[in-house]
């Protein structure tokens, strides 16, 4: 197979036809353990812009670790996230990983290629969504098999790869490194940021729905809901989340269930939402950041219904 053109942020690409993609897949519907998922079929024949190359990526289970795809042939396309429709409605909304062999570089985004219904049916027939009862098969479940864990020295050298991949410039990378260094030193001296004193952390049910306006509580109010690891019932309040304290945001979506990285387990969540514009601040905990672009998860006890009259203070919506 001819190696496709190397893609960079800003390039326009066309997702290949179902028949072309089918030819790249193994019996599990994957390339080097990275599945082409049923949720991706609808994008076949359509054109998108590359947002960044996946030089390294976080994997979350019991703790965050950094991984890299051995072939260095994975990119993200602007705002293409998994709907979870073929995986029992998983609400994790992961950014979709795209192998370069599933894409072709094009001059622009003006035209779209028509794809046959028969080809889409044949492609979907190859793609699996479970490995056993209650164990799902997707890019999140297979991430730790598709991408190897990086050693500590490799995490540092990957910062140079981020520059050569054109994911950021040297000034942005310097800022990421400075952020990581500050918070690493702070944690060593003072312990986890915003840690509380609870042994058993409290919960609150607001039954929030997408579109509702909320105000993030002051940091001291949130700290009172946390344990000594800065977590509320296992969900970490990360340092960058403090930047929204006192501000208003709209609820983007409730989160009731997500597939766990590396295991395929569907985990139930309670009283948890996404807030519009609240993204994982990976640079705070991972040297140089990563490309995955996950959402922050917010417990309902960390927010309160907002006064619509105060929406002008910063809704982010």
77-133 confidence digits (pLDDT tens): 998 999 999 999 999 999 999 999 999 999 876 666 667 788 899 999 999 999 988
pLDDT score of 86: 96
pLDDT score of 280: 85
Least confident segment among 49-53, 113-117, 200-204, 213-217: 113-117
In the predicted model, what is the mean pLDDT of residues 125-150?
Answer: 93
- Rounded mean pLDDT of the chain? 90
Going 227 to 229 to 233 to 239, the CA torsion angle's sign is: positive
One-character DSSP codes across the chain? -PPPPP--TT-EEEEPPHHHHHTT--TTSEETTEE--GGGGGGTT-EEEEEEE-S-EEEESSSEEEEEETT--EEEETT-B---TTTTT----PBPPEEGGGEEEES-SS------HHHHHHHHHH--SEEETTEE-STTTTHHHHEEEPPHHHHHHHHHHHHHTTSS-HHHHHHHHHHHHHHHHHHHHH-STT---BSS---------TT-EEEEPPHHHHHTT-BTTSEETTEE--GGGGGGTT-EEEEEEE--EEEPTTT-BEEE--SEEEETT-B--GGGTSTT--S--PBPPEEGGGEEE--GGGGGG----
Confidence of residue 294 (pLDDT cuts 50, 70, 90): confident
37-82 confidence digits (pLDDT tens): 999 999 999 999 999 999 999 887 645 588 999 999 999 999 899 9
CA distance 124 to 164: 36
Are the C-beta atoms of residues 290 and 69 closer than 8 Å to each other?
Answer: no
Query: Scanning the structure block, which residue is given the tokens 């353990």?
Result: 33
Model confidence at 210: pLDDT above 60 = yes
pLDDT score of 283: 74
pLDDT score of 225: 97
Model confidence at 310: pLDDT above 70 = no
Query: Scanning the structure block, which residue is given the tokens 């889409």?
Result: 120
pLDDT score of 314: 58
289 or 37: which leads in pLDDT: 37
179 or 316: which leads in pLDDT: 179
Q: What percent of the chain has pLDDT over 90?
A: 75
CA distance 218 to 303: 9
pLDDT score of 312: 46
Confidence of residue 317 (pLDDT cuts 50, 70, 90): very low
pLDDT score of 63: 56
One-character DSSP codes across 69-136? ETT--EEEETT-B---TTTTT----PBPPEEGGGEEEES-SS------HHHHHHHHHH--SEEETTEE
- Could you tell me which of 294, 307, 310 has the C-alpha nearest to residue 240? 294
How far from the centroid of its chain's Cα atoms is residue 12's Cα? 22
Model confidence at 315: pLDDT above 80 = no
8-24 confidence digits (pLDDT tens): 999 999 999 999 999 99
Confidence of residue 206 (pLDDT cuts 50, 70, 90): very high
């Amino acid at each position: 197979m001819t190696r496709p053109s190397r893609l960079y942020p800003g390039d326009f690409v066309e997702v290949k036809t179902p028949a072309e993609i089918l030819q790249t897949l193994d019996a599990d519907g994957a390339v080097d353990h990275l599945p082409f998922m049923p949720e991706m079929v609808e994008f076949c024949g359509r054109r998108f812009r590359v947002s960044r190359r996946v030089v390294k990526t976080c994997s979350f289970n019991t703790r965050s670790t950094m991984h890299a795809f051995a072939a260095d042939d994975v990119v993200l396309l602007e705002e293409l996230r998994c709907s979870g429709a073929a995986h029992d409605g998983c609400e994790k909304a992961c950014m979709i990983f795209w192998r370069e062999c599933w894409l072709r570089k094009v001059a622009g985004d003006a035209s779209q290629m028509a794809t046959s219904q028969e080809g889409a049916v044949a492609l979907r027939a190859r793609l699996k969504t479970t490995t056993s009862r209650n164990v799902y098969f997707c890019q999140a479940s297979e991430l730790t098999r598709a991408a190897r864990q990086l050693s500590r020295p490799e995490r540092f050298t990957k910062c140079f790869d981020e520059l050569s991949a054109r994911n950021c410039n040297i000034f942005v990378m310097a800022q990421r490194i400075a952020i990581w260094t500050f918070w690493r030193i702070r944690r060593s001296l003072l312990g986890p940021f915003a840690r509380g004193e609870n042994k058993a952390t409290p919960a609150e049910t607001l039954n929030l729905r997408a579109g509702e306006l909320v105000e993030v509580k002051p940091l001291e109010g949130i700290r009172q809901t946390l344990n000594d690891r800065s977590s509320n019932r296992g969900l970490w309040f990360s340092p960058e989340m403090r930047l929204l304290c006192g501000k208003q945001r709209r609820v983007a979506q409730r989160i009731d269930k997500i597939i766990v990285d590396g295991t395929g387990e569907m985990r139930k969540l309670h009283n948890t939402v996404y807030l519009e514009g609240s993204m994982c601040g990976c640079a705070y905990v991972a040297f140089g950041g990563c490309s995955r672009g996950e959402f922050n998860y917010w417990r309902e006890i960390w927010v309160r219904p907002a006064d619509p009259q105060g929406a002008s203070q910063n809704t982010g919506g």
